[in-house]
Amino acid sequence: MRFAVFPAIRAVAVLAAIALPFTSQPQTGASRLVLASATDQRGRALVDVGADDFVVQEGAATREVLSVRIADYPIVVLLDAGAAAEDFSLMQKAAVHFIERLGAERPVIAGVFGGPPKLIATFDDDRSTVLERVNALTPGASEGSQLLSGVALASQTLHATGSLFSAVVALSAAPLSDAHDGESSPDDAIGRIVDAGAIVHVIGNQKMAGGRVMQALRGLVDQTRGEYTPIYAAASYQAALDRLADRLSNELLIEYLVPPGSKPNDAKVGIRIPGARVRGLRVAPR
């Protein structure tokens, strides 16, 4: 039966995501995870699905799918303290609403950049503490935006949790410049971020445009399979974050069996539901 339906599945299958940096060596575990999203023929998210609805293939080998569940990996939300007071207030309100939408069970903390970046909570803090500290933030004068340094700090903090998947959501308002990111080169921060393995999402005012830092940032977002969302007014942070919250809330973790010592080469994920599509985002060992 599986062989009979697989050609149809291949027609809608999307190349599953790149392996995380630490999956380049042979794995000794008995399973791996694909981070993916599935939509029906109208483009609506599919979350009421199970293991029998998916097929995973690595190279020419079809793997047995064990389970499917909603993803709940940790997230760091970064706010740009270099924003003007009115813009920062709108950004702040949008960030609070976003964190609330992610649900109380998902680990979420926050931080700021715009000057030297810092985190304002730890993953040991409860959600009410995180929200209280976000609400207490105030904008500060800054020359340029140290966004890449902030993302690097957040990514390393996430890496230390040991989570197989994680994400950084950065809200930027101040211009990015090559001279004000706290790094000798954008590549310094980029390397640390990629090594940490977090997915990077950026929502940024178009005043950010230009320079090597901006080019590096767009490349980083693409490389980590995140999203870059340009906005043209601070009031748009809310809509952009709502859209991102929808994506994050509908992501799935698909676990499948693998032979000991195998590598996640050419991993693909397909879906059996007629008219549906699946997009693979990342592959990681269990």
Average of per-residue pLDDT across 257-271: 86
pLDDT for res 218: 85
Please indicate whether residue 42 or residue 8 has the higher confidence score (pLDDT). Answer: 42
For the chain, the average pLDDT equals: 84
pLDDT for res 214: 74
Mind listing the pLDDT tens digit for each residue in 116-171? 899 999 999 999 999 999 999 999 766 567 888 899 999 999 999 999 999 999 99
Mind listing the pLDDT tens digit for each residue in 57-99? 998 899 999 999 999 999 999 999 988 899 999 999 999 999 9
Average of per-residue pLDDT across 212-235: 88
Using CA atoms, how far apart are residues 218 and 189, in angstroms rounded to an integer? 13
pLDDT for res 7: 34
Average of per-residue pLDDT across 237-251: 96
Low-confidence winner among 111-120, 127-136, 211-220 (lowest mean pLDDT): 211-220
Task: Give all domains of the chain, ordered by start, each with its CATH number.
Answer: 2-71+251-285 (no CATH), 75-248 (3.40.50.410)
pLDDT for res 17: 38
Q: H or E element: which one contains 209?
A: none
- Which of 77, 38, 19, 90 is CA-nearest to residue 201? 77
Give percent of the chain above pLDDT 70: 81
pLDDT at 15 over 50: no
Low-confidence winner among 36-50, 97-111, 135-149 (lowest mean pLDDT): 135-149
Q: What single letter denotes the amino acid at residue 21?
A: P
Q: Order across the sheet with 108-113: list the strands.
A: 118-119, 108-113, 75-80, 167-172, 199-205, 228-231
pLDDT for res 209: 56
Supply the pTM of this predicted model.
0.85
